[in-house]
Amino acid sequence: MSQQPPSDDRPAADAPDAPGVIRWERDPDDGSGPGVVTLVLDDPARATNTMNPRFTAAFTAAVDRLEAERDTITGVIVTSGKSTFFAGGDLRRLVEIGPDRAEEVFDGAMAIKRAMRRLETLGRPVVAAMNGSALGGGYEIALACHHRLLLDTPGCRVGLPEVTLGLLPGTGGVVRSVRLLGITGALSTLLLEGRRYSPAHALEQGLVDEVVDDPAELLSRARAWIAAHPDARQPWDTPGHRTTPSPLHTYEPR
């Protein structure tokens, strides 16, 4: 049986254009004590979750609420109500955008970047429980979490494929991938060729921390990690942290 936490049935976002895009579920849900909050990404207007203004509004509102209720929260899980985790940018919207809307697009990207940074510095452990493919903005969400679990499902892939379309990962993926893998590692693994990795290869490349075979274990593994790491933070937010060494870092002229 899938480990689903009880829900308090309140939307994470109350923006009129973003109802139900992210569900807020809490265990325990009766307010009896601190608990784990699960943010379930589940845009009712799309078959897959995509990065668009509705999601930005919902995600920002969810982070607002996490900060407001921080003292009653022991950890956060980010997962999906779809068969995949997150498909990346909303390409249908992107092709409709002209130069006259450049400022709008830039402001939207900055808004979601700020919200992701607030999430990773919440002061509570945050786990991405990816129940399927995490591409583009979806993997950027995972990078903003302290621990990344990936369910091994048929056809599941992880990566930043938008670079093959000439699109820059615009919500923190460049900076976080470099901090995670080093400059050379990030370029060769994610940022130049737009490769999509299977769960096994994603684990091998260090893109995820654990691969889970049983869907029923995904959220329970996330909760177990939260319980074991109450003071989790990003490695790059730890005093004295140095980015993974690479040839570009260690090169010395001869």
Query: pLDDT by residue (tens digit) across 85-137?
Result: 999 877 677 767 778 888 887 888 899 999 999 999 999 999 999 999 999 99
Q: Which of 183, 174, 105, 103 is nearest to 139 (CA)?
A: 174
Give the pLDDT score at 252.
Answer: 42
Q: Do 126 and 146 meet the contact criterion of CB atoms below 8 Å apart?
A: yes
Using a 10 angstrom Cβ sphere, with 0-12 exposed, 13-18 middle and 19 or more buried, the burial of residue 11 is: middle
Query: pLDDT by residue (tens digit) across 32-81?
Result: 678 999 999 999 998 999 999 999 999 999 999 999 999 999 999 999 99
Identify residue 119 by its one-letter amino acid code: L
What residue spans define the domains of the chain?
A: 32-227
Calpha distance 125→36 (Å, rounded): 10
**Confidence band (pLDDT; 50, 70, 90) for 241?**
confident
Query: pLDDT by residue (tens digit) across 6-30?
Result: 344 344 443 334 568 999 999 876 6
Query: pLDDT by residue (tens digit) across 173-206?
Result: 999 999 999 999 999 999 999 999 999 999 999 9
Query: pLDDT by residue (tens digit) across 222-238?
Result: 999 999 999 999 999 98
Fold entry, domain 32-227: 2-enoyl-CoA Hydratase; Chain A, domain 1 (3.90.226)
**CA 118 to chain centroid:** 12
Calpha distance 164→66 (Å, rounded): 35
**Confidence band (pLDDT; 50, 70, 90) for 219?**
very high
Calpha distance 111→178 (Å, rounded): 21
